[in-house]
């Protein structure tokens, strides 16, 4: 999709590039939060309408709701025989909508948002949030087992991606926009702004946090929560769990047991969901039909166990209250968590649209309720109320399978308006995480930032971030004007053998770029203004790591370097690598951003060096010396502590002024046996 250009839009783009981080993200975060909050509210209303139509009118069934959403009780369906048909109908409609209009909207949207963060923050199609909203409302509203967070995460992330395209945000800011949009959508729909904000920074990785996204996520999540609350209400979903208290250290044993159970059931949730999804993907059934088949099976389960239908929040609410929980047969309480796992796999794994966070919260809550029912009559020092077990199990189960322990703890605390259970929850979630291991509900989740394509150049080539793109840019060989004719542009690019060229307005301001593909299909009388594309654009202050990331994300071989609306040059991947090698080639080089007065030192190691055969961690580095890069055989090696230095390596270190001489001496040092051999030869 080509982004329209205007004088006002160009001025906005320039101002944003020159604006400080905090000011920029207060504005952008607020804008993303407004749209995410409105989107969450629209989805909430659409889901309620779909539920009234499909389950209420067709099956005569009113799903139970939590206290914060009316608190309707658990009731049976008037026409239970209709449930399989109703859920199948919803799955069929959802499947047709998704696979005909936007196949990437299938499944749980949070995973798609994470994938967009890592692999193309600018490339989320504008139709995705709308398709996801409608399809998810139908899937869940007709009784499919799914959560609300997936659709709202994709709505927020989709708008963040659109903002990145319209405003020509650089690669780093585009990722932040997607992460903050995801945080805003989840924080709004769960009425948990703090947890949602942390989740946006925590969920892209299993063992890391996207720290750059924290502040923007806080801004976006708070604004989205405020908008959603104004339109729908601010009450916590599960009300105020006043009976949940921790005051007896002996109970820690029970919470450790909850952690073990949550870890085991969490792994079952992951394995079951993935296994059902693989089975449907491997089947020869038409994609549009799969959600209908999954929905029919869920409806059959729902005839006997209506707690598996829809979000299931009303059943989690029942687990928080002693009298209500005791009124439910023990067998149903014990079976429901596993039935909910099966139903979620059938609903979402078959290609239906919905989230998996909500079902995870319900599965954990019901698991805690079942453990309380089993232990309450026989175990000493048991809490009189089941809510502590339910809350801790909610946190432990999904916090472990999502590898987002802090975010999930905060979200459940906000959803229950209770902070008292955070301490025992830490024990439970720690044990559950150990049992779950590297398994995750989110296939797009990566281990750390070093594994993310979004940070591939920064971690593979650490010096990249210190080299500004403006220093590596070169003068363009061909520059076109907005009034240049299409035939002339084709001729000039063909003669220069170039894939494209920047386009300037009559006053010399930058208008965009045009490539040979666009020119090849354009009519001879087409206007150059209609052919230009603004993506990607690199700022001269961007680090080379972000510049290369922008080129990779846009699948472009080059990009213009622009400041204040003026073209400064062009940058290709080859230009960036040449600049990087030049930066490594100097013996002493000042490095931007690493400290005033510091120097970069380089040394080629030979067999006599005192550093050869030692690991980086074993070398007695002087204070304030940092190993920046190791070049070996023309390739860059990430300087981890366990890397063994070898003869032929070129090592680059940054040294503060007071440590420079000691660092030089260490790099130039030779082993004693080499010195002795040299002296003997001289004599």
- H or E segment at 664? helix 660-668
Which residue's structure tokens are 């859920």? 87
Question: Is the sign of the CA dihedral 565, 570, 573, 579 positive or negative?
Answer: negative
Bridge partner list, 567: 562
Residue 609 is classified by DSSP as B
**Prediction pTM value:** 0.75
> Which whole-number Å values give the CA distances from 450 to 85, 538, 653, in the listed order?
48, 23, 20
CB-CB neighbours of 615 under 10 Å: 13
Q: What is the mean pLDDT of residues 620-639?
A: 73
- Residue 675's pLDDT is 45
Look at residue 591 and tell me whether its pLDDT is greater than 60.
no
* pLDDT band, very low/low/confident/very high, at 261 (cuts 50, 70, 90): very high
Q: How far apart are CA 366 and CA 216, in angstroms?
A: 34
> Which whole-number Å values give the CA distances from 505 to 360, 363, 483, 540, 561, in the listed order?
54, 59, 8, 20, 16
- Residue 505's pLDDT is 85
Tokens of 163: 């903002």
Higher-confidence position of 323 and 123: 323
Q: How far apart are CA 237 and CA 159, in angstroms?
A: 25
11-51 pLDDT tens trace: 776 677 667 778 889 999 999 999 999 999 999 999 999 99
Identify the CA nearest to 219 among candidates 149, 166, 160. 160
- Residue 18's pLDDT is 62
Q: Minimum mean pLDDT among 128-142, 192-206, 487-501, 560-574: which range?
A: 560-574
Count H helices, E strands: the chain?
A: 28, 10
Q: What is the mean pLDDT of residues 393-404?
A: 94
Which residue's structure tokens are 């296939």? 443
Domain definitions of the chain by residue range: 23-67+80-236+251-450, 461-579, 588-682
Tokens of 234: 């601010």
Identify the CA nearest to 634 among candidates 577, 591, 588, 586. 577
**Which residues, in sequence order, are CB contacts of 252 under 8 Å at separation 6+?**
424, 427
Identify the CA nearest to 152 among candidates 125, 112, 119, 92. 112
Top-confidence range, 10-19, 97-106, 395-404:
395-404
Q: What is the mean pLDDT of residues 258-273?
A: 95
**588-682 maps to CATH 3.40.50.300:** no
Look at residue 593 and tell me whether its pLDDT is greater than 60.
no
Which residue's structure tokens are 């203004």? 529
Question: Is the sign of the CA dihedral 484, 489, 493, 494 positive or negative?
Answer: negative
Residues constituting the chain: 683
- H or E segment at 359? helix 357-375
Q: Minimum mean pLDDT among 106-120, 224-238, 467-481, 573-587: which range?
A: 573-587
| Chain CA centroid to CA 567, Å | 33
Q: How far apart are CA 573 and CA 542, in angstroms?
A: 14
Look at residue 117 and tell me whether its pLDDT is greater than 90.
no
Q: How far apart are CA 196 and CA 190, in angstroms?
A: 8
- Residue 409's pLDDT is 94
Q: How far apart are CA 551 and CA 536, in angstroms?
A: 7
Which residue's structure tokens are 């542009």? 489
415-470 pLDDT tens trace: 999 888 999 999 999 999 999 998 999 888 888 877 777 666 666 566 677 678 88
Q: Does residue 147 contact residue 357 with C-beta atoms inside 8 Å?
A: yes
Look at residue 650 and tell me whether its pLDDT is greater than 70.
yes
> Which whole-number Å values give the CA distances from 262 to 364, 425, 542, 648, in the listed order?
7, 11, 45, 51
The H-assigned helical ranges of 469-572 are: 469-472, 486-496, 516-521, 528-531, 544-554
**Which residues, in sequence order, are CB contacts of 683 under 8 Å at separation 6+?**
none
CATH number of 23-67+80-236+251-450: 1.10.3080.10
In this structure, are strands 558-563 and 635-637 parallel, antiparallel, or unpaired?
unpaired
Q: Does residue 50 contact residue 280 with C-beta atoms inside 8 Å?
A: no
Q: Is it true that 461-579 and 588-682 share their CATH fold? A: no
Top-confidence range, 1-10, 11-20, 589-598, 639-648:
639-648
Tokens of 576: 């960036």
- Residue 400's pLDDT is 94
Identify the CA nearest to 587 among candidates 644, 647, 652, 636. 652
Higher-confidence position of 617 and 256: 256
CATH architecture of the domain covering 461-579 = Roll (3.10)
Tokens of 296: 């029919």
Residue 52 is classified by DSSP as I
Look at residue 163 and tell me whether its pLDDT is greater than 90.
no
Higher-confidence position of 120 and 511: 511
> Which whole-number Å values give the CA distances from 16 to 33, 171, 268, 613, in the listed order?
18, 14, 47, 49
Q: Does residue 540 contact residue 470 with C-beta atoms inside 8 Å?
A: yes
- Residue 33's pLDDT is 95
46-55 pLDDT tens trace: 999 999 999 9
* pLDDT band, very low/low/confident/very high, at 636 (cuts 50, 70, 90): low
197-239 pLDDT tens trace: 999 999 999 988 888 889 999 999 999 999 999 999 999 999 8
- Residue 680's pLDDT is 38
Question: Is the sign of the CA dihedral 425, 428, 432, 435 positive or negative?
Answer: positive
Q: How far apart are CA 555 and CA 573, in angstroms?
A: 11
- Residue 556's pLDDT is 78
- Residue 3's pLDDT is 47
Tokens of 269: 């949730």
Q: CA 272, 276, 279, 285: dihedral to nearest 10 degrees? A: 180
Average pLDDT for the chain: 85
Look at residue 6 and tell me whether its pLDDT is greater than 80.
no
Look at residue 194 and tell me whether its pLDDT is greater than 70.
yes
Residue 595 class from Cβ within 10 Å (0-12 exposed, 13-18 middle, 19+ buried)? middle
Question: Which phi and psi angles does 575 have, rounded to 5°?
Answer: -60, -45
Q: How far apart are CA 84 and CA 295, in angstroms?
A: 7
* pLDDT band, very low/low/confident/very high, at 182 (cuts 50, 70, 90): very high
- Residue 14's pLDDT is 66
- H or E segment at 585? helix 573-585
């Amino acid at each position: 999709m080509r982004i329209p250009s205007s004088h006002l839009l160009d001025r906005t783009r320039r101002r944003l590039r020159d604006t400080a981080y905090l000011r920029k993200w207060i504005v952008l975060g607020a804008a993303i939060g407004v749209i995410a909050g409105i989107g969450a509210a629209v989805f909430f209303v659409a889901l309620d309408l779909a539920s009234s139509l499909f389950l209420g009118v067709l099956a005569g069934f009113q799903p139970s709701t939590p206290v914060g959403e009316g608190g309707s009780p658990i009731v049976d369906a008037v026409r239970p025989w209709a449930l399989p048909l109703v859920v199948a109908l919803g799955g069929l409609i959802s499947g047709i909508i998704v696979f005909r209009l936007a196949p990437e909207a299938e499944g749980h949207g949070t995973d798609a948002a994470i994938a967009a963060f890592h692999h193309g923050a600018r490339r989320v199609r504008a139709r995705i949030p709308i398709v996801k909203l409608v399809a998810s409302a139908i899937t869940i509203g007709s009784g499919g087992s799914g959560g609300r967070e997936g659709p709202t995460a994709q709505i927020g992330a989709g708008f963040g991606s659109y903002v990145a395209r319209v405003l020509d945000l650089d690669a780093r800011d585009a990722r932040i926009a997607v992460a903050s949009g995801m945080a805003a959508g989840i924080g709004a729909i769960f009425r948990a702004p703090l947890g949602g904000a942390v989740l946006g920074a925590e969920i892209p990785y299993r063992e890391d946090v996207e720290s750059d996204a924290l502040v923007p996520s806080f801004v976006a999540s708070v604004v989205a929560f405020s908008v959603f609350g104004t339109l729908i209400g601010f009450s916590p979903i599960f009300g105020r769990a006043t009976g949940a208290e921790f005051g007896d250290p002996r109970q820690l044993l029970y919470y450790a047991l909850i952690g073990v159970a949550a870890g085991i059931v969490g792994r079952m949730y992951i394995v079951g969901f993935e296994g059902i999804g693989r089975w449907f993907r491997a089947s020869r059934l038409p994609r549009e039909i799969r959600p209908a088949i999954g929905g029919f099976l869920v409806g059959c389960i729902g005839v006997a166990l209506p707690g598996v239908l829809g979000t299931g929040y009303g059943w989690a609410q029942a687990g928080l209250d002693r009298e209500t929980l005791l009124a439910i047969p023990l067998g149903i309480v014990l079976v429901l968590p596993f039935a909910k796992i099966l139903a979620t796999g059938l609903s979402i794994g078959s290609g239906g649209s919905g989230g998996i966070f909500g079902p995870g919260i319900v599965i954990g809550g019901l698991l805690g309720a079942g453990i309380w029912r089993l232990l309450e009559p026989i175990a000493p020092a048991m809490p009189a109320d089941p809510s502590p077990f339910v809350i801790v199990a909610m946190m432990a189960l999904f916090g472990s399978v999502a590898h987002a322990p802090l975010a999930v703890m905060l979200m459940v605390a906000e959803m229950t308006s209770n902070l008292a259970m955070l301490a025992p929850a830490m024990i439970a979630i720690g044990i559950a995480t150990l049992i779950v291991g590297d398994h995750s509900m989110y296939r797009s989740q990566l281990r750390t930032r070093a594994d993310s394509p979004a940070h591939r150049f920064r971690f593979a080539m650490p010096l990249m971030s210190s080299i500004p793109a403006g220093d590596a840019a070169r003068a363009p060989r061909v520059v076109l004007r907005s009034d240049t004719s299409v035939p002339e542009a084709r001729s000039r690019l063909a003669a220069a053998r170039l894939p494209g060229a920047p386009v300037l307005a009559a006053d010399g301001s930058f208008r965009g770029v045009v490539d040979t593909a666009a020119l090849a299909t354009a009519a001879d009388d087409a206007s150059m203004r209609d052919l230009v594309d603004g993506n990607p654009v690199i700022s001269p202050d961007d680090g080379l790591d972000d510049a290369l990331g922008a080129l990779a994300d846009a699948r472009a071989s080059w990009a213009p370097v622009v400041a204040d609306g003026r073209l400064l040059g062009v940058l290709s991947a080859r230009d960036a690598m040449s600049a990087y090698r030049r930066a490594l080639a100097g013996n002493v080089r000042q490095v931007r951003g690493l400290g005033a007065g510091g120097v970069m030192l380089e040394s080629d190691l030979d067999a006599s060096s005192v550093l050869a055969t030692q690991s980086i961690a074993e070398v007695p580095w002087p204070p304030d010396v940092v190993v920046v890069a190791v070049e070996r055989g023309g390739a860059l090696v990430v300087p981890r502590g366990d890397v063994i230095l070898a003869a032929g390596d070129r090592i680059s270190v940054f040294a503060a002024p007071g440590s420079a001489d000691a660092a030089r001496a260490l790099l130039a040092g030779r082993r004693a046996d080499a010195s002795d051999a040299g002296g003997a030869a001289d004599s």
